[in-house]
Amino acid sequence: MRPNIEAAHRKVEHLNLTDDTDTMNVTERFLRYVTFDTQSDDETNMTPSTPGQMEFAIYLKNELESMGLEDITLDANGYLMATLPANTDREVPVVGFIAHLDTAPDMSGRHVKPRIVAGYQGGPIVLNEQEQIVLSPEEFPEMLNYIGQDLIVTDGTTLLGADDKAGIAEIISAVAYLQAHPEIEHGKIRIAFNPDEEIGKGAHKFDVEQFGAEFGYTMDGGAVGELEFENFNAASARITIKGRNVHPGTAKHKMVNSIRVANQFIQMLPRWETPEHTEGYEGFYHLVGINGSVEETTLSYIIRDHDRARFESRKREIEHLVRKTNEEYPGCCTVEITDQYYNMREKIEPVMHIISLAEQAMREAGIEPRVQPIRGGTDGAQLSFKGLPCPNIFAGGENFHGRYEYVPIQSMEKAREVVVNICRLLAASK
């Protein structure tokens, strides 16, 4: 099944592009984009997983057409691609910039009501007085890094959507800037916006050959300066525990309570190797779901580690504990482990010049690069293994996936500048 593309086209007809979109600044674009409800959904088994993503893609396609971009394609799965042609005769590698259409399923992205806090002066920001929702530096001390800047916040009832609509706004605004400044030489630039990154499927149907870039960057990081080419190796594990239900009055030596067995399994994993006790390069086991009765209980884990050997060891440990459980409760426990993505570092290391290029682009924008591992994954990780080396650059937001999300306008402007600088520097180096 697919979302109805014709219906999506009709739904965006009322959103006109009569204003001159190539002169819109990054803030105006972002504020328009967050009006689209694009939460992804892992349960639909469709691509894109929700109709709002296709509606947003169609809107963006219309915007790119109005800007005069070339080779614009939007396929039935919601993958939108376009080209800004080179304005130089030099042989310049084709570079790509990528961002995702969807927002996280963790919190509603419908009826987002953004508000600009101009010239933030420190202290708490009341997001919603009625519901007493407050964004405070006591809980989020990073806010104090943005004193004097203009913060876009939510009303506390939804996420904001800077992850990754800020990235989309930055890429399109950078392209518009290059169009408005033909004196800046650049090679062929490819851009792409894809669905379903937040449910780990953003790169699954991404046509790398059609995209045709030598390398790319996802604009999907957090605070200013982030530059990432290491991410977790990732797997999911689903443990199913079969019990035996007997009337509790006559259950002695007969009942096997799968919930109790599941609790025993949980306790066998290292207590401190969980997300709430780890940082940096430290991996973890994360219990993300439990559903049970006496008769049957399922445990859903994600397994993460930057080091491939430790990652494989963690998977073996899960399998070992399943065998150990079956020694006490014969045949009750099974596990299904599925690899999700791998650390892109091994694909980036042979082409480290693309990291040096991004670092130089940041420094020329007055930003000191902060190279750090991603404690998660991006589309770039999967794309790197599909043949498109694709590190991750900051989009500027903070507190993604929840009601306390915000993005400084100045951070989005810096991200746009970095994109422009990459294109300029790449052409100048040839």
Q: Which of 63, 163, 185, 197 is catalytic?
A: 197
Among candidate residues 102, 226, 228, 413, the one labeled active-site is 102
**Angstrom distance (rounded) from CA 396 to CA 419:** 13
Both structure tokens of 36: 């689209």
Q: Is 197 a catalytic residue?
A: yes
| Cα(394)–Cα(219) distance, integer angstroms | 6
Exposure string over 311-323, b if 16+ CB within 10 A, otherwise e: beebbebbeebbe
What is d(CA 417, CA 397) in angstroms, rounded to the nearest whole number? Answer: 16
Query: Who's near 418: CB < 8 A, 6+ residues apart?
Result: 358, 361, 362, 365, 367, 393
Q: Does 41 qualify as catalytic in the annotation?
A: no
Which residue type occupies 143?
Answer: M
Pairing of strands 151-153, 370-371: unpaired
**Active-site annotation, residues:** 102, 197
